[in-house]
Amino acid sequence: MIKVGIIGATGYTGVELLRLLSQRDDVEIHVVTSRELAGQMVCSHFPNLRGHIELKFSGADSSLVKECDVVFFATPHAVAMHSVPSLIEAGVKIIDLSADFRIKNIALWESWYKTEHACPEFVKEAVYGLPEVNREAIRSARLIAVPGCYPTAIQLGFLPLLENNLIDSNRLIADAKSGVSGAGRKAVEDYLLCEATQSMKAYGVTGHRHHPEICEHLNLISASEVSLTFIPHLAPMIRGIFATLYAPLKDGVDMKLQQLQSVFEDRYVSEPFVEVLPTGELPATRDVKGSNKCIISVNYVESTRMIVVLSAEDNLVKGASGQAIQNMNLLFGLKENEGLDGIALLP
């Protein structure tokens, strides 16, 4: 029985961790913390959990946290980094869903997150929790930095192309559309139903924090320097990320769609949560609502020599909490898909 703690569980990644973990036989939810809601029943905050979880929120400094085998941080950035060193010292494994340990370049992280990093030495140690790239390192990690929602969908889409050196890595474009839950459960005017529904818009065009994260990790596997234009959009829906990825086929490379399809299929044939769609079938975010899958379609526009990869995931599952649990499963030697095979809710 794995003793689990969840820090800052009042948002959407928190409730999703609880949904996915609370019915497992091999996991005990030992403590769930919240600054504001300490003392309240978890299920009165998240009515879907009524009858499934009897816990109350504990305060952020609950002593129960150190008793856990593993602790998930579902906190805003710059929170986890203050607790991680002492928890690791206490022998607690850390799975951080926030941004604190995702970027190795400390200066870069500090410039984007506008604060000094509290424990840069742990950044070095942290394993980037994308199992499709770092599976072995994850198994023996003490500290896992779960990738962001955009970075997961985008990296999984570009990976096979970069690993095989098929594309012009300095002319990549990621046009990504996210559901509103990506903004979290914060009372902010922009995310009111009356503001966000029935509308599309772009945001963060002068820079988004996931950009340096994506580039750093793509560069680790790319033969040539990656240069990426990344434009995130807000789509009028609750869940889902749909990434449309544009990658020019390298000069001199001659490939047909069928071969590109094989490159993707070969790359992901053993991956439990990446599904390469048959040629001609296209993904939609509804196909993965509530599931831990990332579904990918490869397309090729001959007239412009442009490979167009479509990558869809549920931002709260494969883009956050589901992926975090996938990491936990690896960390504890469990079946990687344990508790993660739930089928998407359609319609």
Segment 236 to 255, residues that bind a second copy, using CB under 8 A = 236-240, 242, 244, 246, 248
Least distance in angstroms from the C-beta of 213 to a second copy: 15
Least distance in angstroms from the C-beta of 101 to a second copy: 24
Name the segment binding a second copy (CB under 8 A); options: 19-27, 32-40, 76-84, 145-153: 19-27
Q: Other CB atoms closer than 10 Å to residue 307's CB: what's the count?
A: 25
Q: Which of 68, 119, 149, 294 is catalytic?
A: 149
Contact between 202 and a second copy per CB under 8 A: yes
Is beta strand 241-248 parallel, antiparallel or unpaired with respect to 172-178?
A: antiparallel
Q: Work out which of 49, 74, 87, 161 binds a second copy, going by CB under 8 A.
A: 49
Contact between 347 and a second copy per CB under 8 A: yes
Q: What is the dihedral of CA 69, 70, 75, 79, to 10 degrees?
A: 70
Name the segment binding a second copy (CB under 8 A); options: 40-48, 94-102, 136-144, 149-157: 40-48
Q: Other CB atoms closer than 10 Å to residue 23's CB: what's the count?
A: 12
| Contact criterion met (CB below 8 Å) for 338 and 147 | no
Q: Work out which of 205, 220, 221, 223 binds a second copy, going by CB under 8 A.
A: 205
Nearest C-alpha neighbor of 96 from the set 110, 119, 77: 77
Q: Which 8-state DSSP code applies to residue 167?
A: B
252 vs 278, which CB is nearer to a second copy? Answer: 278
Task: Pull the structure tokens for residue 264.
Answer: 């993707």
137 vs 237, which CB is nearer to a second copy? Answer: 237
Contact between 338 and a second copy per CB under 8 A: no
Least distance in angstroms from the C-beta of 57 to a second copy: 16
144 vs 288, which CB is nearer to a second copy? Answer: 288
194 Cβ neighbours under 8 A, 6+ residues apart: none
- Range 282-301, binding a second copy (CB under 8 A): 282-291, 293, 295, 299, 301
Least distance in angstroms from the C-beta of 59 to a second copy: 21
Is beta strand 306-313 parallel, antiparallel or unpaired with respect to 241-248?
A: antiparallel
107 vs 203, which CB is nearer to a second copy? Answer: 203
Nearest C-alpha neighbor of 240 from the set 187, 333, 345, 317: 317
Q: Is 149 a catalytic residue?
A: yes
Contact between 227 and a second copy per CB under 8 A: yes
Q: Work out which of 70, 87, 99, 235 binds a second copy, going by CB under 8 A.
A: 235
- Range 173-192, binding a second copy (CB under 8 A): 173, 175, 177, 180-181, 185-189, 191-192
Task: Pull the structure tokens for residue 332.
Answer: 């504890």
Contact between 45 and a second copy per CB under 8 A: no
- Range 256-285, binding a second copy (CB under 8 A): 275, 281-285
- Range 62-101, binding a second copy (CB under 8 A): none
49 Cβ neighbours under 8 A, 6+ residues apart: 15, 18, 19, 22, 42, 43
Cis peptide before 232 (omega within 30 of 0): no
Q: Work out which of 59, 76, 120, 342 binds a second copy, going by CB under 8 A.
A: 342
Q: Work out which of 85, 306, 334, 338 binds a second copy, going by CB under 8 A.
A: 306
143 vs 151, which CB is nearer to a second copy? Answer: 151
Contact between 140 and a second copy per CB under 8 A: no
DSSP per-residue codes, 33-55 = E-TTTTTSBHHHHSGGGTTT--P
Task: Pull the structure tokens for residue 321.
Answer: 């909490």
Contact between 304 and a second copy per CB under 8 A: yes
- Which strand (E) or helix (H) includes residue 294? strand 294-301
Phi-psi region of 106 (alpha: psi -120 to 50; beta: other; left: phi over 0): alpha
The residues carrying an active-site annotation are 149
